[in-house]
Each structure stands twice: as structure tokens, then as C-alpha cells.
Amino acid sequence: MTSDSRSANAALTLSPTVSPTESSTAQPELSAGRVRVGVIGAGAMGAGIAQVAATAGHEVVIADAQPDAIARARLAHAAAMARDVEKGRRQRDDADAVLARITYIDGVDAAHLAPIADCGFVIEAIIEQLAAKQALFRTVDAMVAPDAILASNTSSLSIAAMAGACTHSARVVGVHFFNPAPVMPLVEIIAGLATAAHVADRAEALMRAWGKTTVRATDTPGFLVNRVARPFYGESLCLYEEGSASVATIDWALTSLGGFRMGPFTLMDLIGNDINFAVSRSVFESTFYDPRYRPSVTQQRHVEAGWLGRKSGRGYYHYADAQQGYDARMANQDAVLGQRIVDRVVAMLVNEAAAALDYGLGSPADIDLAMTKGVNYPLGLLAWGDSIGPDAIVRRIDALHAEYGDPRYRAARTLRRVVREGGRLVHG
């Protein structure tokens, strides 16, 4: 057994004598066998998580209600292993062993999910609808051993609400990967109100054994990354809707001048406008309609029209024939306009990161780590705010509020305190 195998093995092997409801001081014994992993949902995210687990040496069961999704996942796994072999990252025998560890299941009713029953760690990555996730967890909760961990890959929904659907609510935890799961290093660990401390600890240890960087997030709408990132999309959509710039100009400004790896409209097309809009609406509704998170009618219309992005062939850009998405030549590359776009979007992002401090959503270090590792921002937002100057950020936001009269433009308490005290956001 390799050292990686031993660490992954020790990370999540639960004793059959320990209940998830026991205190966090309980120390479950370690058994000789590696935990079996169940993944329910074989879309891009679920398939990616299954690949990560199988690559780490686990036996994996992946299930989906749609046979086509299972077929695509199987092909994606084979293609990923073939690329690894071609690039010299893996021997052919090793690649074949990874694929052999994955079992594919067509169907998510109790009968089809029978092979999940002996999994010690089950993670769902199904449609982002609370009722669907609760129904699935009720089924799985009744099937698996009492000491198995149930995890949700939700990007914004309540972990407490999912746990509430289960008899063993203390074993439910949020384990949020970022797409593509085999590539993106960050995983958010979210404990709900009922989650036992040792369950969150063991889930986090398992993710670290899989080579992931973890941050702890609170069970609030959008958790950490998706909440703090909302202005990247929302403010860019506001700029477009008010006629300040085209989508291509905004993408050009934020990549060429702002240093972001991908512009917001290109990224929304990649994520899928249906998914991105659903997260925005979920955060907005779950924060009781805080105007900072107000969704965009433009994005709603794109979803209604079926312009979902790359997967549908049309989004903010075309992805058919010779037209393949964003091209910088589409943009108005005016430096003054571009810098105005960057200044506004970055100010709102820094403000949202500071608001996360207001509400205790994470430490300064975790917030900046989450945004650089989870969404590849060029700098941690709090450190970025310090480099610009917290006073400059406050002036920009106050100017926007004066111009628009919209309460979405309100400076975070932490920002105002740092300016008042002459401190810093990161060390302030």
C-alpha cells in the first residue's frame, strides 16, 4: 500500500460502533479496508468527482437516472485516462485499474441504488433543486450503514434542509467541488446545524487525502465562493444592461486589464446560464431578497430562450460552425472604458469579500484562498482591496450609490471600519 493509499484509507474509515450523533471527541477505529465511494449524478461534476475518487484508489459506484448521462460519464472517464497515458502522466495498466474501480448504474430508485448500500461515503451531484436532493437523501439514508457519511455537492442550497430529511441528520455534510473536479483544487466543507463535528472533520481529511485544498464555509446561501463571486456576474450584467459596454468589451476588460483568466460572459456560457442563474436566484431568495444578489432579467431571458451557453450552442456568444465564442476583436478596446469596468467590478467583489467578514463566513485567509483556488482569481479579493486601498473601494461604492440610488451599492461594515481605523482588510 502506498503512502497516499494509507492516508486516504485512514481519512474516512468509520467504526461500525460509532454513531454520527456522538460527540466530535469520539475517535472511530480504523479498519483495514478502504471506504467505498458512491456518487449519485453523472453529469460533468458527478463524473469528475467519481474520477477523482477512483484515481485515489477507491472503489466507486456512480449512478444517474438518465442512461445517456451514464454513457457520457463512462466515455469521459475513458478519454481522461487515455489523455493521461498519452501525456505520460500514467501507465496504461494504472489507467485500466482506475477504470475498473468504477461501477456504473442506470437508475436512482432504491432497487437500482442497492450497490450504494455498502458505501461509506456517498455524495450527491444531482439537479440543484432542494426537493430532489431531500428525496434522494431520504432514500440513501435508509439504505446505508448508520456510520456512513452523506455529502452534498450543492453550490448554494441549505445543508441543514437536506439533513432535515434524514433520520441520521448528523452525518450529512456539504462537500462542494468546483468544475472540473479533477482539475480545480478547492473543495468547500460545509457543516449544517445538525452535522457532527467529526463528520465534517473526516470529510475534510478525505478531501485532503485526495489532494484537494479545503476551506470551511458556513451553511449560508452560496457558502463562500459562490456568494463572494456573485458581483463578477451580477455587476457585469448590470454594465451590459445599462448600455455601458458590450459583453465582449466587458470580457476583454476583465481579462486583459483585470487579469481574470476568463471574462464573466465567457464563464457564464461555460458554466451554463441555467446553472449560473439558478445559483443567483437561490442566493437572492435565500437572503430574503437582499438587493446585492438580485438576478438579471437578461440572464433569465437567455435561460428561457434556451441560450444556455456552450452546451446549447448559443449563449452570450455563438458556439456553432466558425463562430466559437469570445474573440477580443469583438471588443471596444478603449483603455479608459476598460479600466472603468475593471474598477467597478473589482470594487464590488472586494466589498462582497469584506461583507463575508461582516457575517463571519470565513477568515481573511480562507476567503482569499477560496477565491484564488476555487475560481482562479488573480489575487485574493481582500489582499486586492488592500493593494487598491480600502478608502478607494469605499469611495467607488459610495459613488455608485449616489448615482443609482440602489441599495445593492452599500459598503460593508468591515470596509468602513478599516478606513476609519486606518487598518487593512487582510491584517486589519
Q: What is the DSSP string of 160-198?
A: HHHHTTSSSGGGEEEEEE-SSTTT--EEEEEE-TT--HH
Q: Is 29 exposed, middle or buried (0-12, 13-18, 19+ CB in 10 A)?
A: exposed
Q: What pLDDT is recorded for position 427?
A: 74
What are the cell numbers at 319?
A: 458556439
CA distances from 110 to 128, 192, 202, 268 (A): 20, 26, 27, 35
What are the cell numbers at 393?
A: 473601494
CA distance 425 to 173: 30
Q: Which entry of 124, 188, 204, 235 is annotated as an active-site residue?
A: 188
Told to judge if 226 belongs to the known catalytic residues of this protein, a careful annotator would answer: yes
Q: Which entry of 9, 153, 155, 236 is annotated as an active-site residue?
A: 155
Q: Which entry of 58, 77, 168, 176 is annotated as an active-site residue?
A: 176
Residue with cell 485516462: 81
Told to judge if 156 belongs to the known catalytic residues of this protein, a careful annotator would answer: no
Point out the residues of the chain with pLDDT beneath 50: 1-11, 13-33
H helix and E strand count, the chain: 18, 10
Q: Is 218 helix (H, G, I), strand (E, B) or coil?
A: strand
CA distance 10 to 5: 9
Told to judge if 23 belongs to the known catalytic residues of this protein, a careful annotator would answer: no
Q: Are the CB atoms for 36 and 118 separated by under 8 Å?
A: yes
Q: Is 58 exposed, middle or buried (0-12, 13-18, 19+ CB in 10 A)?
A: buried
Buried-state track 71-106, b at ≥16 Cβ within 10 A, e below 16: ebbbebbeebbeebbeeeebeeeebeebbebbbbbe
Q: Which entry of 9, 226, 276, 280 is annotated as an active-site residue?
A: 226
Told to judge if 59 belongs to the known catalytic residues of this protein, a careful annotator would answer: no
